[in-house]
Amino acid sequence: GTNEWKTVVGLAMFFIGFTALVLIWEKSYVYGPIPHTFDRDWVAMQTKRMLDMKVNPIQGFSAKWDYNKNEWKK
Q: What is the pLDDT of residues 27-65, one digit of tens each?
A: 999 998 899 999 999 999 999 999 999 998 899 888 999
Rounded Cα distance between 33 and 11, Å, is 34
C-beta atoms surrounding 51 within 10 Å = 17
Report the C-alpha gap between 48 and 46 in whole angstroms: 5
Which amino acid would we find at residue 16? I
pLDDT band at 6 (very low <50, low <70, confident <90, very high): very high
pTM of the shown model: 0.57
